[in-house]
Structure 1
Amino acid sequence: MAGGTRLASILLLSVFLFVRAQDDIREPPKILEPASAKELFYDGGVDVTLQCRASGQPTPLYEWYWNGAPIEPTNQAITYDPSTGLLTIQGLTTREEGFYNCRARNTFPNGLSAVAISHKIEVRRARIKPWTKDQDRTKTATEGNYVFITCGDTLPKYYGPTTFKWYTVEGEDDLLEVEEDKRVFIDNKGTLHFTYVLGTDEQSNRYYSCAMSNVVEGKLTLGGRTRLVVTKTASMSEVKPALQFSTKLAGDGALTFKRNTEGHLECFFSGYVNDPGNEVPTIKWLDNAGNTIVSGTDRYTIKGNGRVLTIASLVEADEKPFTCIANNAIGTAEGRMTLNVTSSPIWVKALQSITVPQGKDAVFHCEARSAASEVPPDPPRWFKNGYRLDMSYDPNKFEFANENRELRVKSAQKNTDIACFQCFVGNSVGEEFSDGCLNVILPIEVVAKPLPEQTIERGDIVNLTVVATSDKLYPVAYKWHFNNRTYEGVSAPPHVIYDVSTNLAYINTSDLTDEQMRDIRGVYRRQVYHEFESVFVDVDVDVDVILKVQEEPPLPVENAGPDVVVIAVLGAVGGILILVMLLVVLYKMKGIVH
C-alpha cells in the first residue's frame, strides 16, 4: 500500500478538522454617505441636518469639520452625535454657512486608528442680496424695430436656484407680469427682448421692472425701473431676420461650462413679416456636422420658441461649434458659437480601497488629467488618516512613483498598516479629492493536507483532505480541479467521498473495478480561495500494480468480522494520534498575529 492510507487513519483525521479563528476582525471605515460633493440651499431659520454614515469594524465613530476646522463641543448652533454621525444646524443663518465634511474613525485593539474623510457639503442660506437700484431710465424705440431692456448695470449676488421675471409696475404694489411668447423673450441674464416692438408695449404711467425670484426662499426682489417710449408708425415695414443677441455676444466666459453640467446656448433674432401667425422668424439649430438638432434627442432640448438650446451632462466631445439659423419669408440670418467645456481634474485612476494579505505590497493610484487642451493638474498631495504625508514619511514603508501619482505601502502588516489615504489634485478650474483605505488580512494557511504523491493499490484509501484557515473577515471556499473539470460546492471528482462540512475527502479503492482504478489516476488540484487570495494543493495519484480481475471468491460473511484485538490496537493508536494532533494545534496557535 505504498503511499496509501487505511480508512482508520482517515476517520481519525476527521476528529482533528477545525477552522482556526485567526485574530480579531478589522476593517477600516468606508464613507457611505455623503457619497459625493454637494451644494445645498435652505430657507433661513430652518433646522438643517447632515448625515454621515460609514461601514467598518469595529463600528466607526464620527467627527464633523466646518470650513476645515473641527466643530467644538461648545458650539451651540452646530452639534453632532459622534455615534450616529448626525449633524444638526439649529435655525440656519448666514453665520453657519460654509463647507462641512465628516471623518469616520475606528480604533483597533492595539490602539491604532483608521480615519476616512468624506467629500465636502456646501451649505448656504438661499437668498438674493440687496439690489443696488439705478435711477429710473427711459428707453426709446420705433414701432416694428427690435428693442431690449436690461436688468441694470450690476445684478445682486444670489445663492440657490434663481429665475428672472419682468413686470410692469405702477407705485409699489401694482405689478403686472410680462408674459414671454414668440415675440417677447427673457434671456439667461435677465434681459428683456422684443423681436419687434408694438405701440401697445408703451404703457402710460407704468415702468418695466426686472425681478429676481429665489426658488427656495420664494421671495421676489424687484430691480430698477425703465420707461419704454415707442414712436408709432402708420404701417410696419417687413424686416428680414437679423441676429441681435447670442451667448457668444455675451462674452467668451458665457460660452464656458463645466463638464457634467448643463450647457445653455441662446440666439435672439429680430425680424417681421405681415403674415398672421408667422410674423416672427423661425429658428433651428445645427451641430458641427451641419445636421439639424431635434429636441429630445442625444441630450438636446430646444425651448423658448427655438431661441434656447440646452445640452444635458456636458462631455468634452460637446466642445464644438453650434449654429442657430433664423428664417422668414424675406430672408435668413445665422449665429455661430463654439461651446467651451472645462473641468476640474478628471480622474484617470482615483483612490480605491484595497485589501491585501499580510506581507504583500499595496499600491494606491491618484492620477488625473485636465480637460482637453487645458493645463495639466498640479502633482497630487497625499494624506494618511487626514495628516499630510510630507518628506518625513518612512521610506522603508512608503514609496512614491510616477511623479507622485502612485503610493506603494510595502509589506503591509495587519497590526500596524491598516489606514486610510487621501489625495488632492487641483488645476486652474478647481480641486478634486479622493479617499481610499488599506485593509490587511491574515493570509490563507493550509493546516492539513495529504501527501503530494500517492501511489496506491486496491484496498488503499486515497487521502485528499485539505483544511485551511484565513482571516475571520474573509472565510475560505474550496474548489476541485481534476481532468480539466472544476467541481464546486458539494460536488467532487468521481469516486471521491467528500464531506463539505468538515472538508474530509478520500477515495476508498476497496470496491473499485479495474476501470474505475484507472479513472482515479491523475492530479487532484484543491483550490482554497476567497476574494483576495488563492492557494493550491496538488495531489498526484498513481496505481502501483497491474490491474486484473480477482479470481478468488470472497470470504464468507461470518469469517469477515473484525478482530477484537485489532479494534483495541486501533483505539490505542487513535488516542495517541489525537493527542499528538492537539499538541500540534496548540503549538501553531502560538504564532497567531494579534
Structure 2
Amino acid sequence: METGNVAWLRVDTQTILTIHGHVITKNHRIGVTHSDHRTWNLHVKELRQSDRGWYMCQINTDPMKSQVGYLNVVVPPDILDTGTSTDMVVREGSNVSFQCAASGSPPPSITWRRESGEPIVLPSGEEVISADGPVLNISRVSRLHMGAYLCIASNGVPPSVSKRISLIVHFPPMVWIQNQLVGAMEGDRMTIECHSEAYPKSINYWTGDRDEIIAHSSKYEPITIENQYKIHMKLTINDVGKTDFGSYKCVSKNSLGDTDGTIKLYPITRPSTNRPKHKGKLLLNINLHLKKEGKKR
C-alpha cells in the first residue's frame, strides 16, 4: 500500500473503527494489525449477528483510495419456545396442527418426521416419511397417529437441532374376539383370549356366568399383555370341569367408556378308545366257516 493513514470504517453506520494502528471505537472486540505497514487487518472477536454488514478499508492518500468487503455472520439453528407446539392430548377424530419456529442465519428450514420411523399421513391421504414446512397438519386423528413427532431445523450450519412433540390420542375401549365359541373336554387345560384397544389406559378383567370377577387362583390364570394402547387378555382354565362350561366376558373400562366381549365354552365328548371285543373269536368263526365250505365242495 502507498503511505498514508489507513482507516477501517463500518459502512452502514459510518462509524470509524480504527485509524492506522489505533482503535477508535469503544467496542472492545475490535482490533487492528499490520504487516510492515503494507497489509492491514481488522479483527472482530466474539462475532455477533449485529456485526454482519459492509466494512471499508480507506487510505488517506490524494486521491483517497478505499475497498469494501462484506462480513456475513452465520448462526446455527435454534428452535424457539414461542411459536413451537408442546405435547398434545386430543380425542380421536380431531384435527391437529403442529407448529415449529426456529431462528438462525441463514433462516433454517423445518422438516417433520415420526420418531418411530412410521410414515406421516397428510390431510390429502398421502403417506410420506418426512414433511417440510413450519406447520404440520393432521386431519381426523386416529390412534394410529399416536406417538412422538420430531421438528428438525437445519440451515447448513452445524449442528441441526430438533424438538420432540408427543401426540396422545384418547378413545374409549374396543374389544375384538377371534373365537366366540370354544369347545373343551373335561380335564383339559383351556385358554380363551380377547383383544382390546383403549387410551387412557384401561382396567381389564374377566367375569363368569354370574358376572363375578374372576381372580387368579389354582383354577383360573388371567393374564394381560399390554403394548401401548393395545391389550391382549388371556384366561387359562385348569382341569376343566362340568361347572366351567358357560359364558365368559372380557371387560375393558377407561374414563371415556367401557365395553365387553363374550366367549362361550361348551363341552366336547371325549372320543372312545375301546377296541372291538371278541375280535379273535370272530376270525376263528370265519375260518371254520371257510373250512366247512371247502369240505362240501
Fold in common (TM above 0.5): no
> Which protein has the bigger strand share?
2
How does the TM-score come out when normalised to structure 2? 0.39
Higher gyration radius (CA): 2
How does the TM-score come out when normalised to structure 1? 0.23
